[in-house]
Structure 1
Amino acid sequence: MEQHPSGLKLASWLVAAGRTVDPGASLNVPPIPASNFILGQGRSYARGDSTPTWEALEEVIGGLEAGKAVAFASGMAAVAAIFDQLPSGARVVLPDDCYQGVVGLAMAGAARGRWSVQRIALTDTAAWQQACTEADLIWLESPSNPLLTVADLDVICAAPRKPGTIVAVDNTFATPLNQQPLELGATVSVQSATKFIGGHSDLLAGVVTTRDEALWQQLHQTRTLAGAIPGTLEAFLAVRGARTLALRLERAQYNAMILAQRLLEHPLVTCVRYPGLPSHPTHTTAKRLLKGFGTIISFDVAGGAATADAVCRHVRLIRHATSLGAVESTMERRAAVAGQEHLPPSLLRLSVGIEDVHDLWNDLDAAIRATIT
């Protein structure tokens, strides 16, 4: 596992960072539900001056990604703060496969004349390099949601760019343990802490990390003015969840590889997408750039949308639910989600959790066979 500048491995940093050090203080920074503070000691109002609980989360994630972090109320609040840095008439470039929330935000802004939007296939590295010299915001998502395409991030992030261009990487699927966008040359790395950072399906939060001090100040100001602040309990839970990220990711990735290999051989499964499989179109790129192949599998079942919906209804251990990155395995048919109608109708996105892999397989196999045979 990668080493933190402190000399610790990242797994150790996750456990050690964001803690109090004063003698007699609590070991963990507690949830501090304060809106305002006694004047004269540096803080006055939480929306602009933060709280120790938010700052603990920012220390953990900022240090994990070797930058400086700003925490937000949700992943989409973090995304919106980046878009808010764009000048009027900006040019935005998005991948062909991208989280529908980002696409919705970008297209809504384009409809109001705030910017124009271009879509580029994630695998068209040359087009992305060219876009870096012309666009104001390069938005990358790797692995992508839900087709799990892995982009040539090292090449794209190192490409010459127009002055002021922001290269943003949604690093949610990879997590900072598998990929370090800032090390590759990205301007910002974005995490939906709702997912792997929190890890327990019990919070909404987002974090943006950058090494650009001026941009960090602007993002902090955007959060203050927009009021997109993280909740106190959510920030506390996100820090607590992050402590076990390395363990959870290790177990879930182990499970995901086994399930992907078995799904590949299943007679009632027509397509399996997982970056760890040699059959995946960007497997070679994934091996070069990712330290682990992640916990998300997308696969198609024979029989179309109705069959895929039936599989979701028949699973018992795996939960039929949206979102991902938690200790429990979840699955949904993505084309049923608004804005995702272009996806294969029978595509199921499976977020693999930390359950026993044999129990997961038995549940998944039984659900597929019960609905198709």
Structure 2
Amino acid sequence: MNQQQPWSAETMAVVAGRPPRRAGAPVSPVVELSSTYVSAEPFGSFDDGVYGRMNNACWRDLEAAVGALEGGAALCFASGMAAGSALFALVEPGSRVVMADACYGAMLSLGQQLAAAGRFSLTLVDVSNTDAVLASLDGADWLFIESPTNPLMQVADLPALTAAAGGLGVRVVVDNTFATPLLQNPLALGAAVVLHSGTKYLAGHSDVVLGLLVTADHELELRLRAHRGLHGGILGPMEAWLALRGLRTLAVRIERQQASAGVLARRLSEHPAVSLVRYPGLPGDPGHGRAKTQMRGFGGMLSIELAGGRAAADALVAGVRLWVPGTSLGGVESLIERRRRIPAEPEAVPENLVRLSVGLEAVADLWADLQQALGSVTQLSTSAG
């Protein structure tokens, strides 16, 4: 395949990382189950195939595909947090890190833990407040952000932030899990590294745990590759194969999921039991203008806040029958969760916030299920009043 062919991202998700085209060759990559490889003399490099902790053909196929989608060199890890830990390992001791104050809770917890141990100093900011973020960059070394954020759905002004950070020598990391490379490419907007929890949309079937980092900076790529080999947070070949198989349907999944999310967001915004809908696809959402400018769609994630508070949020999750109460997102099944039930969730996340990951079910069925559960929530609030 000619990697320089100007195909669309939707096409690249299908064709990138395929075996060479020749008569009798498999169309799909095979699973290479080997820990050890035949030695070459003289020794070249670990990339040539020496030991399974350093390289594997299944990694290379997955990394080629994700790298093609994001516009850089991709490296896969055993989990999204293994990838996040590798990122924090890039931060030199004594540095200052600026980080989103409402982002994925485990990543924020790790940053706070490392800061408390004296590894670096940490400044937390609201990434939707561009002026506040810009003011925090003076004297910083790294900026770690999500956009849209998990679970508040805040949208950062990525071009403005990366431009200002670049002028100050600040490297920017963007978690692109919610948007996926089909809707947004942070490297093209000036980021140094992109993070994905590949468990979510990229693999897409709730059957594998993995993380990916993508960078166009060769020096950072080498440092991240060395960290992975030395610390051992590697992905198994079967997990890599499953993720690549899932990636092939990313475009059609995203198209269906975000179409349904838009319908549900509009209907939920009109329901009396819902006090706020957080979805950048709504014209009245604070992040709508930015998302419309820097993204190619609004995604399949949304969050709502219940007028009846925490009790109403819990009742909604308990009352659905089709939606699955669960801690993840991006799969073919629709998931629902009150996020503050998790101890590590940032305090900036309201107690009455419910996060919705829209799957591939018929939107009419998803809405009917929410509607009946919200009806019970309304009756509960009326009884309590």
TM over 0.5: yes
Partner of 1:362: 368
1:85 aligns with 2:84: no
Match of 1:113 in 2: 118
> In structure 1, what is the equivalent of residue 187 of structure 2?
182
Give the drift of 1:111. Answer: 1.4
Q: Give the TM-score, by structure 1 length.
A: 0.96
Counterpart-to-counterpart distance in 1, 2:34 and 2:21: 21
The amino acid that maps onto 1:9 is S
**Aligned counterpart, 2:383:** none
Q: Could you tell me how far apart the structure 1 residues matched to 2:359 and 2:119 are?
A: 40
Residue aligning to 1:53 = 58
Q: 1:9 corresponds to which residue?
A: 8
Q: Deviations over 1:46-81 (max 9, x none)?
A: 112x11101111000001001111111111111110
Deviation at 1:281, TM superposition (A): 1.3
Normalised TM-score (structure 2): 0.93
Q: Which amino acid aligns with 2:128?
A: T
Report Cα offsets for 1:87-128 as digits up to 9, x if no partner: 111111111221101111101101111011101111221332
Match for residue 195 of structure 1 among 200, 203, 208: 200
User: Who is 2:38 aligned against?
Assistant: 38
Alignment partner of 2:249 out of 239, 244, 263: 244
- Letter of the 2:57 partner, please give it: P
Greater Cα offset, 67-76 or 164-173: 164-173
1:69 equivalent in alignment to 2:67: no
Residue 26 of structure 1 aligns with which residue? Answer: 26
Structure 1 residue 154 and structure 2 residue 153: aligned? no
Taking the aligned partners of 2:67 and 2:193, their CA distance within structure 1 comes to 11
Could you say what secondary structure the match of 1:46 adopts? coil
Partner of 1:266: 271
Counterpart-to-counterpart distance in 1, 2:156 and 2:279: 14
Distance 1:372 1:169, change over 3 A: same
Q: 1:345 and 2:351 equivalent?
A: yes
Residue aligning to 2:382: none
Unaligned ranges ≥5, structure 1: none
Per the TM alignment, residue 163 of structure 1 is displaced from its structure 2 partner at its CA by 7.0
Match of 2:225 among 217, 220, 228: 220
- CA–CA distance in structure 2, aligned partners of residues 154 and 251 of structure 1: 28
For residues 143 and 243 of structure 1, the distance between their equivalents in structure 2, rounded to whole angstroms, comes to 23
Aligned equivalents of 1:246, 1:91: Cα separation in 2: 38
Q: How large is the RMSD of aligned CA atoms in angstroms?
A: 1.5
Q: Measure, in 2, the Cα distance between the counterparts of 1:129 and 1:145.
A: 21
Does the aligned pair in 1 maintain the 2:165–2:171 contact within 8 Å? Answer: no
Contact 2:205 2:332 in 1 (8 A): yes
CA, structure 1 residues 261+163, in 2 after alignment: closer, same or farther (shift >3 Å)? Answer: closer
| C-alpha distance in 1 between matches for 2:98 and 2:211 | 21
Distance 1:153 1:5 in 2: 27
1:117-156 correspondence to structure 2 within 5 Å: 117-156=122-161
The alignment partner of 2:143 has SS state of strand
Query: 2:301 matched to which residue of 1?
Result: 296
Tell me, yes or no, if the aligned pair for 1:133 and 1:162 is still in contact at 8 Å.
Answer: no
Taking the aligned partners of 1:96 and 1:260, their CA distance within structure 2 comes to: 25
8 Å CA contact 2:105–2:346 kept in 1: the answer is no
CA distance in 2, matches of 1:130, 1:15: 42
Question: Are 2:262 and 1:257 aligned?
Answer: yes
Identity over aligned pairs, percent: 44
CA distance in 1: counterparts of 2:32 and 2:175, whole angstroms: 29
TM-superposition CA deviations, 1:1-48 (whole Å, max 9, x none): xxx952111111111110111533322112212111111283110112
Are the aligned partners of 1:70 and 1:220 in contact in 2 as well (CA < 8 Å)? yes
- Is the 2:99–2:122 contact (alpha carbons within 8 Å) kept by the matching residues of 1? yes
Paired residues of 1:138 and 1:167 also in contact (CA < 8 A)? yes
Q: Match of 2:44?
A: none
Number of matched pairs: 369
Distance 1:359 1:301, change over 3 A: same
Given candidates 195, 215, 219, the residue that maps to 1:210 is 215
